[in-house]
């Protein structure tokens, strides 16, 4: 009986396709969003280059940015707050103005394109590509620029007030 159960499980597994079989990695037709997710990693300030109040402000106005809320789900532990998932599209030359995350924290995943971040705790600009994640904790103040010639798409998940 055990042998028959194992054979059935192996046959079922053999019928499954992995992501690599559906979208071969390294194939120029591979979906960029999938590649970004599979290669996701947190990007931080380079070692030895952090400094509190290293930067104060950058651009004062956002431009070339569109946003679309994808989903909002209330927190069971605090119904006055929710997790919001939002897609941002930043055009070439676009800017997300300097802002703080003292009341709204979360993270951002670069899905496609390239962005440059200016952060209050880093002496250097931080350059992001698809798959990079920026942590936006309560101490974060920053701004973004798309200095490339292609649009950048970012998924942001934040805990927000409802």
Buried/exposed 141-152: b ≥16 CB within 10 Å, e otherwise = bbbbbbebeeeb
pLDDT of residue 131: 96
Q: Are 39 and 112 in contact (CB under 8 A)?
A: no
pLDDT of residue 30: 59
CA-atom Rg of the chain in angstroms: 20
pLDDT in single tens digits along all 162 residues of the chain: 433 433 333 333 343 333 344 444 455 445 878 888 898 999 999 999 999 999 888 789 999 999 999 999 999 999 999 999 999 999 999 999 999 999 999 999 999 999 999 999 999 999 999 999 999 999 999 999 999 999 999 999 999 999
pLDDT of residue 56: 84
Domains of the chain with bracketed CATH = 32-161 (2.60.120.10)
pLDDT of residue 71: 97
């Amino acid at each position: 009986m055990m042998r028959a159960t194992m054979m059935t499980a192996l046959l079922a597994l053999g019928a499954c396709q992995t992501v690599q079989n559906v979208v071969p990695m390294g194939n120029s037709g591979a979906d960029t969003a999938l590649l970004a997710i599979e290669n996701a990693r947190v990007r931080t300030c380079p070692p030895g280059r952090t400094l509190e109040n290293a930067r104060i402000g950058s651009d004062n106005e956002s431009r070339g940015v569109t946003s679309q809320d994808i989903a909002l789900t209330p927190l069971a532990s605090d119904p006055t707050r929710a997790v919001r998932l939002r897609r941002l599209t930043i055009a070439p030359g676009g800017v997300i103005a300097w802002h703080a995350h003292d009341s709204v924290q979360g993270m951002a995943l670069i899905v496609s394109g390239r962005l440059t971040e200016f952060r209050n705790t880093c002496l250097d600009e931080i350059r992001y590509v698809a798959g990079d994640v920026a942590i936006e904790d309560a101490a974060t103040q920053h701004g973004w620029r798309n200095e490339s010639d292609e649009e950048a798409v970012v998924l942001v998940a934040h805990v927000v007030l409802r």
